[in-house]
Amino acid sequence: MSFNIVVPDLGESVVEATVVRWLKKEGDPVSVGEPVMVLETEKVDLEVGAEKDGVLASIVQQDGADVKVGDVLGVIDEAANGKAAPTQVSAEKPAAQPVPTTPQAAPAPTPSTGESEAEPSKQATPVAQRVASDKNVDLTQVEPSKPGGRITKNDVERYVEAQQTPASTAPAKPAPSPAPAMQASTAAAPKPMPALVNGRGEERIKLSRRRRTIAQRLVEAQHSAAMLTTFNEIDMTGVMELRERRKEVFKERYGVSLGLSSFFVKAVIGALKYQPRLNAEIQGDEMILKHYYDIGIAVGAEDGLVVPVLRDADRMSFAEIEKAIKDYAKQATDGTLPIEALRGGTFTITNGGVFGSMMSTPILNPPQVGILGLHKIEQRPVVINGEIVIRQMMYVAVSYDHRIVDGREAVQFLVRIKELVEDPERLLIEG
């Protein structure tokens, strides 16, 4: 009996995906729950597992194919189960699989081949697997940048660059020795990629589904909302001193570092209670005010920004916020971020300061009507009580939908955040 592998429910408002890579080949045995392929959605990469024991009888959608929820990806043959599975498949298709014709020799290469292929797949992120496949890179030759971590896209690209240099400086060496032919072809594969256009090199790369969705959403946000941005600056000296005094005790007690995110999450909640329209959304000719606080935290991933959500953040402690953000960041890096973590959200915080940004205008994350942008903290001279002093200052920006949020409300919202962050004791009371 055969069983279809179909595109599962991809979550809220997500109906399409792209086949990144099959982890199994036709004829490979599969077990219940074992990942057989990877799908890329506009939010996360998903591993699709087998729901039955058997053999992958056929692959319907090849790598790079765009699919929708419910589409058939492949077929599992349930009858071919357990150790006899490869024999049954080879019996049905003797011409296509000449290797199993010697029954004693067939089992030996099967496990060794499976291990060598499955191991790098588990150690590499889905994006890294796709890049490695495009550039014909053997993942077993790539070392992760973090010891014990997963191989990322950057690791693969660094490996390709490293292979290009020796290939160009010593082209004559690989030729006389037939043994390293596979290594030579792997190293030489990236060389023909840049095409010459008017004497200049260009490389054509298909946008990933997530990057396409990000581009579409950003353009839609600018076209569908009356987006404006207002700025202010915050004296971070008090928070920085508090973190310095409490960081060791905090980490010892809660097992996580005390960062800046928790302060701003609490401050945003306090400001949203003061200006509730920034925690709303527009549906038709109605404005929906939300009396709960699901705060999205923008996290950089390999293939674009993702925004996991802190549910009911007003009920979370500083430690719970820091732990949740740390977990989300790790999951985004590993490519294991669940779709549930990306659903909804009433307001978003993005921090360009971690990349060195001094000032920027964040773009709305529809259907939300407000987003706070944080920036780099730098020592600057400021005037306090008639004296020039050096303080640790940060520029902040709030972008808002002018259709329901007026400039006065946006300015007051940002002023409230400034007041709360500059006075951490007040933040504990009002946040």
Q: Give the three-state DSSP class for 202.
A: strand
Residue 356 — left, alpha, or beta (φ > 0 → left; ψ -120 to 50 → alpha)? left
Which residue type is seen at 294?
A: D
Instruction: Clarify whether residues 118 and 137 are in a common domain.
Output: no
Per-position DSSP letters for 53-94, written without gaps between them: SEEEEEE-S-TT-EEETT-EEEEEESSS-GGGHHHHHHHH-T
Helices assigned H by DSSP within 124-152: 126-134
177: enclosing H helix or E strand: none
**Contact present, 419 and 412 (Cβ < 8 Å):** no
Per-position DSSP letters for 94-117, written without gaps between them: TTT--GGGSTTTSTTHHHHHHHHH
Domain span at 153: 131-172
Place of tokens 């071919």: 80
Instruction: Identify the pLDDT of residue 81.
Output: 59
CATH number at 347 reads: 3.30.559.10
- Burial of residue 183, with CB atoms counted within 10 A of its CB: 0-12 exposed, 13-18 middle, 19 or more buried: middle
Instruction: Clarify whether residues 168 and 284 are in a common domain.
Output: no
Instruction: Clarify whether residues 281 and 375 are in a common domain.
Output: yes
Q: For the chain, list residues with pLDDT below 70.
A: 11-14, 42-43, 80-123, 126, 147-148, 165-197, 303, 429-431
- Burial of residue 28, with CB atoms counted within 10 A of its CB: 0-12 exposed, 13-18 middle, 19 or more buried: buried
> Which residues 6+ apart lie within 8 Å of 187 measured at CB?
163, 164, 166, 167
Whether 210 is in a domain gets the answer no
Instruction: Clarify whether residues 76 and 139 are in a common domain.
Output: no
Domain boundary among 91, 123, 155: 123
Peptide bond preceding 367: is omega within 30 degrees of 0, i.e. cis? Answer: yes
Instruction: Identify the pLDDT of residue 43.
Output: 65
Whether 191 is in a domain gets the answer no
Whether 179 is in a domain gets the answer no
**Contact present, 362 and 297 (Cβ < 8 Å):** no
Catalytic residue set: 402, 406
Whether 4 is in a domain gets the answer yes
Instruction: Clarify whether residues 58 and 112 are in a common domain.
Output: yes
Work out the number of other CB atoms within 10 angstroms of the CB of residue 94.
Answer: 11
Whether 304 is in a domain gets the answer yes
Whether 180 is in a domain gets the answer no
Counted domains in the chain: 3
Q: Token pair of 64, please?
A: 């790079």
Domain boundary among 53, 88, 123: 123
- β-strand partners of 38: 21, 47
- Burial of residue 190, with CB atoms counted within 10 A of its CB: 0-12 exposed, 13-18 middle, 19 or more buried: buried
* Polymer length in residues for the chain: 431
Output the CA torsion 54→56→60→62 (10° steps): 140
Instruction: Identify the pLDDT of residue 408.
Output: 96
Instruction: Clarify whether residues 73 and 148 are in a common domain.
Output: no
Instruction: Clarify whether residues 274 and 404 are in a common domain.
Output: yes
pTM above 0.95, yes or no: no
Instruction: Clarify whether residues 108 and 139 are in a common domain.
Output: no
Instruction: Clarify whether residues 233 and 154 are in a common domain.
Output: no
Instruction: Clarify whether residues 142 and 281 are in a common domain.
Output: no
Instruction: Clarify whether residues 147 and 284 are in a common domain.
Output: no
Backbone torsions φ then ψ of 59, nearest 5 degrees: -110, 115
- Burial of residue 73, with CB atoms counted within 10 A of its CB: 0-12 exposed, 13-18 middle, 19 or more buried: buried
Whether 211 is in a domain gets the answer no
CATH number at 70 reads: 2.40.50.100
Using CA of residue 47, residue 52, residue 56, residue 58, what is the dihedral sign? negative
Instruction: Identify the pLDDT of residue 192.
Output: 52
Instruction: Identify the pLDDT of residue 106.
Output: 42
**Contact present, 344 and 294 (Cβ < 8 Å):** yes
Instruction: Clarify whether residues 45 and 114 are in a common domain.
Output: yes
Whether 213 is in a domain gets the answer no
Spatial distance between the Cα atoms of 302 and 120, rounded to a whole number of angstroms: 18
**Contact present, 329 and 343 (Cβ < 8 Å):** no
